[in-house]
Every structure is written in C-alpha cells, then in structure tokens.
Amino acid sequence: MQARAKIQVKTNQVRKDRINPYIFGHFVEDIRDHMDAMLAYPLADMDFESADVTYRGLSGRWRPYTNGKSTLYTLEPAAAHHSGQSQRVRVYSDDEAYAGLSQAIAVKQDLDGYYLALYARASIEIKYVVAEIVDRKSEEVLGSTRIDVVSHNWMHYESRLTVSRSCEHAEFRLYVPSEHERWLDHVSTGMLWLDHISLLPSDSVGHIRKEVMDMTKDLNAGMMRLAGNYISAYHWQQAIGPVYERPSVINEAWGGWTNKYFGTDEFIGFCRELNVEPLICVNDGSGTPEEAAEWVEYCNGDKNTPMGKLRAANGHAEPYGVKYWEIGNEVWGGWQVGHCSAEQFAERYMRFAQSMKAIDPGIRLLACGNEKMDWNKTLLERAAEQIDYLTLHLYHGYNRFGMNAHTPKEERYKAILSYPEWTRESVRQLREMFGSSARYAHLKLAITEYNTMYYPNTIRKGLPNEHTLEAAAANAANLNEYIRNSDLIEIGSFSDLVNGWLGGCIRVGDFYADQFRGKSAGRSENSLTVYGTPSYYVMKMYANRDLGYVVESHTECGNFQVGSLAPAALQLDNLPNLDIVACTSVSGDKLTIFMVNRSLEDTLTDVQLDGFAESGTARLLEVTADDYECFNSVNHPDAVVCEAHELSVMKSQVTCQLRASSVYVLEITR
C-alpha cells in the first residue's frame, strides 16, 4: 500500500525569534586541494618553493622544455624580498637549442587573454622569451606571446596570453627560442632566472574561479567562515601585502605549502563580492593575544592606527568592519596545535578576548565549545561574561553506532538519517546549561562546522558517500533542527565549500583527496568541470527562501528505528519518517515548509494549511533521484539537482508525493 502522512501547520502559532540567515553559512579552509581548486590559477608551484623531485634542479611541478643536451636547471635563492626559490635555466649555445621549462595544465578558452605575470632576469645576450600554451596531444599552439627581457636585474613583466579553445591536456611553456641570436659560451652567458610565473583567466573574480564564484553567490550563504585546523598554526601577517613577498610556509595541519594567494584581504574581498558576513577564527594555538588583537586592528582599525595603516598601504584604506571573531578551533582535540584542557583554554580565551575587545569593543566573540558538556561547563563557569557564542562541530557518521561496511546497507542509511536527533540532544543539553544561571542567559550557539562524515571509511576508496542523495537528506534534516532551534542557533557553517574534505559541496574536477593524506596534485581528465553535490542543491534551496519565524506544526507519519550504541538519553527507536519544519515570512504572506522524507518508500502527504490559503497554487521544490546512493560527477554533473513543480491548493490543503530519501520545500503565498 502507498505510505500516507499528514502535516498540520498551525499558522496562528508563530514563534517570536527571527531565523538568522547566518545558519546557512559556509566555510573555507586551507585543507588539501580546497584553495587550489577554488582559486583560478592553472599553474602550481608558481614561486618555485618545492624541492626537485623528478627532474634534477627543477622545482617540483615544473618539467624541462628543451632540445639541448646540455641545458642545466638549478634552484637558487629567491630574489630580494621574495619567498621560495628562484629557478635558473642555463642554455648552452653549442646546442643551438630552445630551452626553458613547462608544466601540464588545463585551460579554458579565453579570447581576452590569460593574465601572465613573470618575475625574471637574464644574462645580457638573452633579449626575449616566448610563453605559450599548447595542446600536448596535437602540439597545436593555443596561444603565444613574446616578452622582452630588458634587464640583467630582477624585474616584473606581464602580458596577455590569448587561448583559442579549452583544453584539458594543455601545457604551458616559457623558453628562450632557438631563433634567438646565439652567443659565445663563456662566463655568465645564456642564463635565465625566474622567480614567479602565474596565469589568471580574464574572467576570474579576485583570483577566484568565475564558476566557483557564481555557484557560491547562488548559495546566498549569509556568512563565510575562515578557520579550520590549519588556523591554529597560521600567522595572518604572512599572507598580506604583495604576493611575491609573502613567505612560503608549511601547512602544519594538512601538509604541503599554505596557500599564500588567499590571505585576509582576499578573504574579505571574497565575502564582499558575495555580500556575506565574514567570520574569522584567530590562531590561539601557536599565536598570541597580541597577534589576534593586531588582526582585529588590521581589519577594523582606522588607517591612522598601526595595523590600519598597514592595511591602507596594502590598498584598502577603509576598515573592513569584521564583527564576528572565533577563538579556538577544536582545541579539545589532540590533533590541534595548542591542544589543552578546558581549564587552560578558559584562561587562554580570557586573555585573547580582553586583547581583542580592547581594540574593538563592538566585536562578537565565539568560544570553542565541545559536544562533551564537561568542557563547556568549565569554560562557561570561568569565562561566560566574555563569550557571545559557544561553538560546536557536529559531524555525523558510522563511528557513533559501532557500524562498518559489514553492517546491512539499510541499517547504515537509517543511522545517517538520524543526524537531527543527535544535534537535538546536544542542543538540549546546552539549552539546559544556558538556563542554569543568569550569567549564561545572553549566550547563543554557533555550529561552525557540520556535515556527514562516513567514518570508519578513512581511506575513502570507492563511492564518495558524502556526495550522495543520502548525505543531502541527512544534512537537510539537520538544517531543519537548526531552524527549529533558531532562538538559540544563529550561525551555521557547512564544511567545506570547495573540494577539501570529501564533503565540499562545490566540486572542481573529479579528484578526491583522501582526508588522511597530504595535498596531492589532483590531476584529472575533467579538471575544468565545476558542479554541485546534492548537498549543494539542498543548501541553495534552503538559503534562498523568504524566512522570518518558525510556525508550529504536527506530523503524523510512519517511523523507523536505528540499532546503535547511542547513549541511553538518546532514543532512536521511534523516529518519524518525515522531518518537518514550517516557517512564515516576516511579512506573514508566505508559508514555507521544509520536508525531508527519511524513509525508503514514497509517501503521499497531505499538508493542511490551517486556513492560510483556501485555494490557489503552491510551489514545490524537490531534490531527489531514483536511488539514495545517486551522486553528481564530472560525467553526470546534473544527476541530482533541484527541480520546481506547481501544485494546487484546495480547501486549505496541498497533497504532495514525497519520494523516498528526498528533500522538499513547499511554498504558499497568499
């Protein structure tokens, strides 16, 4: 028989607390290939910071381009005030050769021309170099430009490199051509030094891929967080000012080099382009309260202050006005630089808070909380007056249930779809704690990281589970819980925005970096393809609604149970198949009902509107597929997307067919 359900929306019972759009926020971190994928640069190792690995004397990602048997490559110290190393190419005249270096890249058509930046010098007989992009398979030249090298001293050069068509298997080459007038071999001849090479497509936005920027704008994120494990060893002044002069620094959390092309100014520019509020987490691991306070002053200080003056010198005279600052990222975890006890963190937090608020008393501070309430109890007892938000990170996976790959698939599905129940229990405990003392009455909750994480699948072979319709349904149900608790939860940050962890909701290319491995080159056959996961479409669908306040509702439906090792306080034996939350707009003229069908069968659902609208047309948005393990890929980027339908409102009721393991938004306007 067809499963049936009924939702009664009690439109005259509207809660008083406004739903904060920041709960639909997102999160960027220098983790794995996150920033490399987000940024528009097709070249890697642009400052020659890596050691030679495959080819003697060549920086890591670069390869020789020469037909001369005697061409020599050497890594030398960087130019003055520059980081990384410089690359020397020695061309011997006897070879009558072209000589330079190359790198495999993927490029898109750009008739306005990629912006080519070069920092170089050469021995006096070398008068020019050629930069070109070719199809590696056919050797077709897709674009070429000549750069005259006018000095034996280091100089900045730039040009435009038109690309006639897109090519996944392209190669960038920069070389001294064989047509060059030859020289006699003696001391200091035939030498070309390079200290930086970069390419940017003409449509990039603040160094961000246009496709990523466009998709992120569509998310209507509300807030963007800069944080993560790497931040606990991140010193913000290393990533401001001229990019040539920013140091090359090891990413202590995730391996490889930190991405120095996305520092504070670039992050703020990203947020401004998106029209979202920035949230910055400071380094309380290897950093100091004084360093954090200087960061606040750099962002918010007048240009006459020491750090404000530095910001102005970097091209940004007006203060950024960053209001939200987070102190501590998972400090309770042994993997975190600066890991400490709750008592130690409370004392550290107080020092940071006092220093930062001395610079700008108007900022709002987030303190690192924990799902383990003993940590929160100690922190609040010692520092509650200095805290505006307590943070939680809520990742949901098999580790909570004692499950593994041998557990029946349907049981694993049910466990993942119980995400909101776990969130509800954590929020319940914190709500109880906040209500235990008048000192805590002002506190709000910020979920600064959340996602499904399918532990114990740590090696991540095979299907990327975090990208399935199942994961999207679990994340949607969890968002429903945030909305239900909107009087307490004001901030959410989906983890991650682009690639990075497997859960990145925007994907660039088809490479999946294992979460327990260092940053990889990530070459793929489809590196130019940018697409959204099912969770991307859920986030986009939720954040672009006209929401004001929660409206009470009642649901009658079937239920399911989860076998688990859950704590006794958490009941998972009678969970409703439908996870529902209803909202009204601020003006009261639109009703929005979020519906997640967590069951494995379609459910015909009657939505009773309590007289909100007697008749008319309702709009139903749907994220669904034929199977809960469906996911998007570079070959099928639109397998799971959001589709819209129109339904009739009759006698103040709408009847919806809710497909199994799918997510819906029903909108009625009167």
How far apart CA 169 and CA 324 sit, in angstroms, is 43
Contacts for 256-262: CB closer than 8 Å, 24+ residues apart? 256/518, 256/519, 257/49, 257/50, 257/519, 258/30, 258/230, 258/234, 259/30, 259/35, 259/36, 259/39, 260/83, 261/35, 261/39, 261/41, 261/207, 262/28, 262/30, 262/35, 262/38, 262/39, 262/207
Q: How buried is residue 518: exposed, middle or buried, by Cβ count under 10 Å (0-12/13-18/19+)?
A: exposed
How many residues does this entry show for the chain? 670
Res 518: pLDDT: 46
Higher pLDDT: 281 or 518? It is 281
**Range 319-330 burial, b when 16+ CB lie within 10 A, else e:** bbebebbbbbbb
Res 425: pLDDT: 95
Closest to 262 in 3D by CA, of 238, 285, 282, 284: 238
Res 457: pLDDT: 47
The dihedral formed by the CA atoms of 240, 244, 249 and 254, expressed in degrees to the nearest 10: 80
Q: How buried is residue 162: exposed, middle or buried, by Cβ count under 10 Å (0-12/13-18/19+)?
A: middle
How far apart CA 257 and CA 269 sit, in angstroms, is 22
DSSP code string of 492-541: EEES-SBSTTTT-SEEESS----TTS-------TTTT-EEE-HHHHHHHH
Res 462: pLDDT: 53
**Cβ distance 600 to 486 under 8 Å?**
no
Helices and strands in the chain, H and E counts: 11, 31
How far apart CA 371 and CA 215 sit, in angstroms, is 32
- 3-class DSSP assignment, residue 655: strand
Which phi and psi (to 5°) does residue 243 adopt?
-65, -30
Res 335: pLDDT: 95
Res 569: pLDDT: 62
Closest to 524 in 3D by CA, of 514, 512, 510: 510
**Range 132-142 burial, b when 16+ CB lie within 10 A, else e:** bbbbeeeeeeb
Cis amide prior to 456 (ω within 30 degrees):
yes
List strand residue ranges (DSSP E) for 91-154, in order. Answer: 99-107, 110-122, 128-135, 141-148
How far apart CA 79 and CA 244 sit, in angstroms, is 10
Confidence of residue 587 (pLDDT cuts 50, 70, 90): very high
The HSE-up count of residue 149 (CA atoms within 13 Å, CB side) is: 26
How far apart CA 434 and CA 426 sit, in angstroms, is 12
- 3-class DSSP assignment, residue 430: helix
Between vectors from CA 123 to CA 117 and to CA 125, what angle results, nearest 5°?
105
463 pLDDT exceeds 60? no
Per residue in 221-243, pLDDT tens?
Answer: 999 999 999 999 999 999 999 99
Give the dihedral sign, CA 401/405/408/413: positive
- 3-class DSSP assignment, residue 34: helix
CA 505 to chain centroid, in Å, comes to: 8
How far apart CA 280 and CA 666 sit, in angstroms, is 35
Longest dimension (CA), the chain: 95
Mean pLDDT of the chain: 93
How far apart CA 622 and CA 645 sit, in angstroms, is 8
Per residue in 134-151, pLDDT tens?
Answer: 999 999 999 999 999 999
Contacts of 375 (CB under 8 A, 6+ apart): 332, 342, 369
**Cβ distance 277 to 331 under 8 Å?**
no
Confidence of residue 597 (pLDDT cuts 50, 70, 90): very high
Higher pLDDT: 50 or 531? It is 531
Res 55: pLDDT: 80
104 pLDDT exceeds 70? yes
How far apart CA 109 and CA 126 sit, in angstroms, is 31
Confidence of residue 195 (pLDDT cuts 50, 70, 90): very high
Give the bridge partners for 578, in sequence order. 597
How far apart CA 115 and CA 121 sit, in angstroms, is 19
Residue with tokens 């990075």, as numbered in its chain? 500
Per residue in 486-524, pLDDT tens?
Answer: 999 999 999 999 988 777 999 998 766 554 444 454 456
405 pLDDT exceeds 90? no
How far apart CA 154 and CA 535 sit, in angstroms, is 48
Higher pLDDT: 114 or 570? It is 114
Res 568: pLDDT: 59
